[in-house]
Amino acid sequence: MHNYLKTVLVFSFCSVFLSGCISQHINGIQTTEFHDHQKVTAKLHDQTLTLEVVNTPQSMAQGLSNRTEIGCDGMLFLLGNHGTPRFWMREMLFDLDFIWLKDDTVTDITLDAKKPVSFQDPLQIYSPTAPANMVLEVNAGKVAEWRVQKGDVLTFTSEH
């Protein structure tokens, strides 16, 4: 009985701890309410954007690979915990800008990440210089066009 209680307590602690890491509140919205591939409306700088949310390991690994276009203004990766994520351009067909966010604030920007010339080329790894728990991938050139800069805030305005 003692081992059973110990197992239940450890499992309960891990469940609570992990749910706290994965759950995010951004501008009063619980991001765990977002479904994988759900479209949401958000505002960044002075731009109103339609974003596709990805939040499962499979969807995050796939990302925009093998797509000919984003299909909206950007793909938002909800990573769950603050850290230094590592992204690559595996099987990408177009160039991207990365907007790295911690909670709702832009902490770093990577401009013009190039698609691979061939599928045999070694992949460059892209990471932010500061911790992030979200990454917004947009078409290359959009960061400059929208005048996005560090310190800008991403605000969710609605769900589709």
- What is the value of pTM for the model shown? 0.79
Q: What percent of the chain has pLDDT over 70?
A: 78
With a cut of 80, say whether residue 158 has pLDDT above it: no
Q: What is the rounded CA–CA span in Å between residue 160 and residue 157?
A: 10
**Tens-place pLDDT, residues 122-156:** 899 999 999 999 999 999 999 999 999 999 999 99
Q: Which of 11-15, 49-53, 104-108, 132-136 has the lowest mean pLDDT?
A: 11-15
With a cut of 50, say whether residue 2 has pLDDT above it: no
Q: What is the rounded CA–CA span in Å between residue 7 and residue 109?
A: 43
- Tokens, residue 28: 């009063």
In 3D space, the residue among 52, 16, 44 whose CA is nearest the CA of residue 159 turns out to be 52
Q: How large is the average pLDDT for residues 44-48?
A: 93
- Tokens, residue 115: 């698609």
Candidates 2.60.120.10, 2.40.10.120, 2.60.120.1140, 2.70.240.10; correct CATH number of 25-159? 2.60.120.1140
Give the pLDDT confidence score for residue 111 in this predicted structure: 98
Q: Are 102 and 143 in contact (CB under 8 A)?
A: no
**Tens-place pLDDT, residues 71-100:** 999 999 999 888 899 999 999 999 999 999
Would you kindly state where each structural domain of the chain is located, as residue ranges? 25-159
Q: Are 126 and 109 in contact (CB under 8 A)?
A: no
